Amino acid sequence: MNNPFSEQITSKELIVPIHKTVFRRKESAGFLHYVKEGGVKLVRNTLEGKEVITHIAKKGEFFSEAALFETNYHCDAIAIEHSVIVRYPNEEVLRFFKENPEKAFEYIRFLSGQIRVLRKQLEVVNVVTAKDRILLFLHSEAKNGVVKISGAVKNLAGQIGLAQETVYRQLSALEQEGVIKKEGDEIKIL
């Protein structure tokens, strides 16, 4: 789904500076969100206090889709860039889908895609060695051999379940080996 719901749904735009939260876990969930500008990470914290990034929503993507039928959010949403977020009341979205089957259909396609991404992420996290895990992640994220790091390496680490130090070290090693090339917030796969 590329575009939000035209003008048939009352929406509200939020300006969210980097590091600020859009919503928090356990807050009552009332809205479907859309990233008009910037980026947002969806974060869960394990018992140990480790930050697990279950998803990064970039410009043009929805998030909190899974909470459409929930009463509470089950993760934190935090901006990783200065962002503009549009939010749509859940009930209106649901009503909209009921009245516009084609849109519901599109949404099904979108959700199916999300599931595929999550499965891929599960596959990545299950790779034992840090180096292979990072490589698999890079390959799965790469567009034309280039991966854009959203915000920080720390976020990358949180997505694939490694300590950030490990990621730094392995990225350096990979660069030494000539497998990748870091350039600012981009990583090229050679």
Binding site for its own copies (CB under 8 A): 42, 44, 46-48, 50, 52, 54-55, 65-70, 74-75, 94, 97-98, 101-102, 104-105, 107-109, 111-116, 118-119, 121-123, 125-129, 132, 136, 161
Residues 43-62 close enough to bind DNA by CB under 7 A:
48, 50
**Minimum distance from residue 93 beta carbon to DNA (Å):** 31
CA 188: distance to chain centroid?
21
Helix axis angle, 164-176 to 153-160, nearest 10°: 110
Nearer to DNA, 12 or 20 (CB): 20
19 binds, among DNA, its own copies, none (CB under 5 to 8 A by kind): DNA
Enter the tokens of residue 121: 């992420």
**Minimum distance from residue 132 beta carbon to its own copies (Å):** 6
Neighbour-count burial of 149, counting CB atoms closer than 10 A to its CB (0-12 exposed, 13-18 middle, 19+ buried): middle
**Minimum distance from residue 152 beta carbon to DNA (Å):** 4
**Minimum distance from residue 19 beta carbon to DNA (Å):** 6
Question: x/- contact string, 154-183, with DNA (CB under 7 A)?
Answer: x------xxxxxx-xxxxx-----------
Q: How far apart are CA 173 and CA 50, in angstroms?
A: 25
Distance of CA 123 to CAs 54, 64, 65, 89, 132, Å?
Answer: 13, 22, 22, 33, 12
Q: How far apart are CA 179 and CA 171, in angstroms?
A: 9
Q: How far apart are CA 41 and CA 55, in angstroms?
A: 6
Contact positions vs DNA (CB under 7 A): 17-19, 48, 50, 128-131, 152-154, 161-166, 168-172
